[in-house]
Amino acid sequence: MPKPTPRRPPTRRRRSNLVRVFRCGWVPVDDPLYVTYHDEEWGVPVRDERVLFELLNLEGAQAGLSWSTILRKREGYRHAFADWDIEAIADFDESDVERLLGDAGIVRHRGKIESVIDNARATLALDVPLTELLWSFVGGEPKVNAWHTVGEIPPQTVESQALSKELKRRGFRFTGPTTCYAFMQSAGLVDDHTLDCFRRAPT
């Protein structure tokens, strides 16, 4: 019986092609926009006030809709709401609301449109920076969870309930506890990447 010919080890390039990337189970891998959002944004700690304001309002706009719908309208929202300039949005009036109700680039829901304006005004009325207020509900640092599956992740938590209550007290709208938890996940206040996800923060 002839001696088997030794096989050469695969090159580095060939090995890398065999690496399988594991993501959270909620990510539709056939949707490039969604994959990019998960891989590059979701769960990354955000402390920029304008970005936090954007994410908070986008999560409010998503209520009753799919997140995919909001992602596809994200640029439309930036254009419609002055690139999320909080002071500019706070100056919007009824004519702006009527204009936005005709803008197909956003969710044309009067209550959700008016909530963005109200939230801008509520932000300007804060006695602490918005970033400081939001992050105070996790002690200023991301809360890293340890979920094995997506099914283990709760729709809301004690922290999101407390955040919702405080935001509503301060005049914010479309900030229920489930919306607040989705915001906390997206803005990296909590890390809810499952344990097998390549984007999970190192511990």
Please give the CATH topology (third level) of the domain spanning 46-191.
Answer: Endonuclease III; domain 1 (1.10.340)
What pLDDT shows up at residue 202?
A: 75
What are 129's strand-pairing partners?
none
Q: Please tell me the distance from the alpha carbon of residue 124 to that of residue 45, in angstroms, as a whole number.
A: 22
Considering only CA atoms, give the Rg of the chain. Answer: 21
For residue 6, pLDDT over 50 is answered with: no
Of the candidates 34, 37, 135, 181, the residue annotated as catalytic is 37
Annotated catalytic, 26?
no
Q: What is the mean pLDDT of the chain?
A: 92
Residue 15's pLDDT band (cuts 50, 70, 90):
very low
For residue 110, pLDDT over 80 is answered with: yes
Q: What mean pLDDT comes out for the span 183-199?
A: 97
On whether the pTM is more than 0.95, the answer is no
Of the candidates 41, 49, 67, 114, the residue annotated as catalytic is 67
What pLDDT shows up at residue 201?
A: 80
Among 17-26, 46-55, 56-65, 171-180, the range scoring the smallest mean pLDDT is 17-26
Q: What mean pLDDT comes out for the span 52-64?
A: 97
Q: Please tell me the distance from the alpha carbon of residue 136 to that of residue 173, in angstroms, as a whole number.
A: 19
> Do 71 and 34 form a contact (C-beta atoms < 8 A)?
yes
Q: Please tell me the distance from the alpha carbon of residue 51 to that of residue 187, in angstroms, as a whole number.
A: 9
Of the candidates 59, 77, 147, 181, the residue annotated as catalytic is 59
- What's the residue count for the chain? 203
Annotated catalytic, 181?
no
Q: Spell out the domain ranges in the chain.
A: 46-191
Annotated catalytic, 34?
no
> Do 34 and 68 form a contact (C-beta atoms < 8 A)?
yes
CA 105 vs. chain centroid, Å, equals 19
> Do 195 and 148 form a contact (C-beta atoms < 8 A)?
yes
